[in-house]
Structure 1
Amino acid sequence: MSAPAGKSAIPRRALVGIFGGLFCGYVGLTAAIPVLPGFVRESYGATDFAVGLVVMATALTALLVRPVSGHLADRYGHRLIMQTGALIVAAGGALYFLPLGLTGLVALRLLLGVGEASLFTAGAVWTVSLAPHNRRGQLIGLYGVSMWGGISVGTFLGATLLPFGYGAVWGFSVAAALAGLVLISVAPVLPRAGQPSGGHGLLVRPALLPGAALALASAGYAGLAAFVVLHLQTRGIDSGVVVLSGFSAVYGGTRLLIGHLPDRLGPRRVVTWSGLGEAAGLLIIALAPNLPVALVGSLIMGVGFSLLHPSLALMVMDRTDGAQQGAAIGAYTSFWDLGLSIWGPLIGAVAAGLGYPAVFVAGAACAAAAVAVALCVRQPDAQSATVS
């Protein structure tokens, strides 16, 4: 599965198809997000609980299906599973046109979670399989930038198209996903060294500790996304959304400018710095007396949080046999969904019981705990480190 030994050139044509396919797939997937709450209320008179269930249902199946998708990508090929994910996303956009009822709409969103998991996980391990050994962390980071870019563009364009009717949004979702399918389909598949066995399990042991660290680190992001605006408003600080925007900008910029650091310095060292950076940024936000200080905190947090995921993913790759890397990546990324599912309600309880600053202090504590967990990951020996 790995690139030939000693290969240092990046297969740009293949990566354009993979990254572009992921970007377009997420544009199609997320275009519906900003319009679904209104659609559910207008069409079915749904409660707040039902609205939340419809919007978040994809996370449930994505959490469960990611390891399966990675296992299937190992066995049947990355492109096939990624194509399947794009097709499911396109089909889901078309099914929005049907009068499904509220139960049917929830079922559709669950199906889209399968598509999202297949699209992302197969593309992630495909990227790793093509990357030169000394560029894997950087390319994993850039792959994530493609995903977040698709989410940002998709939600923006979905809201922009709403004045033309829900049908325009559904149609755009189909078209974007099909464009992603085309890009994936034209990406060249390089010969693999031997036929992978697909491994013997879905929850690969090397993914457990890095995945747990990722789940802990997600607490800070959950708190920032949910409560930073309200936290600053209680201190008479308007324009709290600037803090979120600053975090997003530096998150992507960090991966573009210094995304090579996990490869160059080693994932353990970068995880340590990144986790402590996330914690420091969160504590600054918790204590911020004004907007500039809160913005500085979000920038520091963004730099740290940006490099956590690729560094932890490198730990997984360094300790996983090539035949199981798809299942390992799938299991590892499932911890992100799990973390958000857990921290969403828990952070809300912290805010209700202890106040908004406690949300960011708790997130900082979780980021520090993530570092401690990551440092418990055993480093591979020299021989196993070359297996990728």
Structure 2
Amino acid sequence: MPLNHSSHPAGSGVVMTLMPVIAAVLVGFIIIGVALPVLPLHVENGLGYGTFIVGLVAGAQFAASLISRIWSGSYSDRRGAKKGVVAGLIAAAAAGLLYMVSLWVINLPALSAGILMAGRAILGGAESFIITGAVAWGLALVDKAHAGKVIAWVGTAMFAAMALGGPVGTVLYGAFGFKAIALITLLLPLLVLVYLSRMPAVAPHPHADHASFGSVMKAVWLPGLGAALASTGYCTILAFSSLYYSAMHWQPVWMAFTAFGIALIVARTFAGHLPDRFGGARIALIFVLVQAAGLFLMWYARTPLTASAGAAFAGFGYSLVYPGLGIEAISGATPQSRGMVMGIYTAFLDVAMAVGSPALGWVGGHLGLDNIFLAGALAVLSTAIVAVLLLRRSALRKAHAS
């Protein structure tokens, strides 16, 4: 039964209220995470294809995610955020079924790879519906004063799931092959659907006047740009830290990513309320300086301990940049357009990952791996300019209102 706004919980009940949303995001990103490290192995060893086909199969998910962002936001606004999450979970299960079908025709590698690519594309669309619907659902379930907590907790669930999914996927693939990945992708979303069936929905806005894409983009582009620049720093660690550690003969090679993720989760657990209390742009400005300092430390590092400490600082700083700027993105949004706002806002991160990774790779190829972290630090530091502009914009609005 849809909730009305009088049902919003007080601050102490926010996390419990968000549990169904967090569960959906955890599952959505665990099934993405379990496939990431083993998909190239399956395509290369199981199907006999090279890196180009590996790239096509893996990239199908990210392309579909970007393309479906705005559609998923509009769907959540018009049909209801919970229905958006449910649609995403059903699509995720369908992707798992396609994974299974691709294994049934593995003796026809071209057909198997095509079906697998279709499954990846459907999973990309599912991810859009799950994350966009989850944020819109969470924002509607709690008071507007807790918007930062919603974005922070949903993001924490996403990072935790990705961190957990990789090791789990590697172990399962080693023990049972790609069939285990397919079964998890098929069954986990169905289990969460059962859990969500009795959870409260929020009223959709099927007949409301929705903001145009242009008006939403006008409000979102500046915080979205800031989030994209800050996420370039995340790209440096996600895509290049293990390669850098390996080149420097530092062990274990995954330490930077682990330090980044742990620091991010700790920061959001204990400081996730700060953007709501002190303002999104102000907190983003402070924390982005910490993130940049961490990346500068990684660039300067001469030992794995120093580099890992830098990664931890980067994770701690990045932790509240995304929710802080997210608050700025939704500050002027009406309830009936929050899904579209978050869809467009999240699309900026997709673009950052798609453009930032090859750009940073070019830097590493021409200037050395360590300079990837210098370039990332400079990109992150430019987010401070965006935060200052947002603070000025907020001050002008207050001046005009008075």
TM-score, structure 1 normalization: 0.92
Give 1:317 shift: 1.1
Inter-CA distance 191–222: structure 2 relative to 1 (3 Å threshold): closer
Amino acid at match of 1:379: S
Aligned partners of 1:198, 1:183: CA distance in 2, in Å?
31
For 2:100, what is the secondary structure of its paired residue? Answer: coil
Give 1:294 shift: 1.4
Inter-CA distance 382–7: structure 2 relative to 1 (3 Å threshold): farther
Alignment of 1:85-100 (within 5 A): 85-98=88-101, 99=105, 100=111
Amino acid at match of 2:154: Y
- 2:54 paired with 1:42: no
For 1:31, what is the secondary structure of its paired residue? Answer: helix
Answer whether contact 2:31 2:185 (CA < 8 A) is retained.
yes
Answer whether contact 2:140 2:202 (CA < 8 A) is retained.
no
Answer whether contact 2:295 2:373 (CA < 8 A) is retained.
yes
Greater CA deviation, 187-196 or 294-303?
Answer: 187-196
Aligned equivalent of 1:361: 374
- 2:148 paired with 1:132: no
Aligned partners of 2:54, 2:205: CA distance in 1, in Å?
48
Aligned equivalent of 2:240: 227
- 2:266 paired with 1:266: no
TM-score, structure 2 normalization: 0.89
Amino acid at match of 1:214: A
List per-residue Cα deviations over 1:330-355 (Å, max 9, x = no partner). Answer: 00001111101001111110001011
- 2:332 paired with 1:319: yes
Amino acid at match of 2:368: G
Aligned equivalent of 1:3: 5
Aligned partners of 1:33, 1:349: CA distance in 2, in Å?
23
Aligned equivalent of 2:394: 379
List per-residue Cα deviations over 1:80-136 (Å, max 9, x = no partner). Answer: 111010000001101111134323322221121111101110111111122222221
Give 1:184 shift: 2.8
Aligned partners of 1:283, 1:3: CA distance in 2, in Å?
45
Aligned-residue identity in percent = 28
List per-residue Cα deviations over 1:261-287 (Å, max 9, x = no partner). Answer: 111111111111111111111111101
Give 1:79 shift: 0.9
* Structure 1: unaligned runs, 5 residues or longer: none
Aligned equivalent of 1:120: 131
Amino acid at match of 1:332: Y
Inter-CA distance 348–301: structure 2 relative to 1 (3 Å threshold): same
Greater CA deviation, 196-205 or 81-90?
Answer: 196-205
Answer whether contact 2:204 2:336 (CA < 8 A) is retained.
no
- 2:116 paired with 1:105: yes
List per-residue Cα deviations over 1:202-229 (Å, max 9, x = no partner). Answer: 7532111111111111211111222223
1:295 to 298, 308, 318: 308
Amino acid at match of 1:62: S
Aligned equivalent of 1:154: 165
Aligned partners of 1:371, 1:277: CA distance in 2, in Å?
11
- 2:289 paired with 1:283: no
Answer whether contact 1:27 1:176 (CA < 8 A) is retained.
no
Aligned equivalent of 2:351: 338
Inter-CA distance 75–63: structure 2 relative to 1 (3 Å threshold): same
Aligned Cα root-mean-square deviation (Å):
2.5
Aligned equivalent of 1:306: 319
Inter-CA distance 332–383: structure 2 relative to 1 (3 Å threshold): farther
Amino acid at match of 1:184: L
Answer whether contact 1:271 1:374 (CA < 8 A) is retained.
yes
- 2:268 paired with 1:255: yes
Amino acid at match of 2:131: F
Aligned equivalent of 1:205: 218
Answer whether contact 1:22 1:180 (CA < 8 A) is retained.
no
Inter-CA distance 221–7: structure 2 relative to 1 (3 Å threshold): closer
1:166 to 175, 178, 181: 178
Aligned partners of 2:225, 2:213: CA distance in 1, in Å?
18
Answer whether contact 1:240 1:291 (CA < 8 A) is retained.
no
* Structure 2: unaligned runs, 5 residues or longer: 106-110
Inter-CA distance 56–223: structure 2 relative to 1 (3 Å threshold): same
Inter-CA distance 217–132: structure 2 relative to 1 (3 Å threshold): same
Aligned partners of 1:58, 1:351: CA distance in 2, in Å?
26
Aligned partners of 2:350, 2:146: CA distance in 1, in Å?
26
How many residues align? The count is 385
Inter-CA distance 212–269: structure 2 relative to 1 (3 Å threshold): same
- 2:62 paired with 1:59: yes
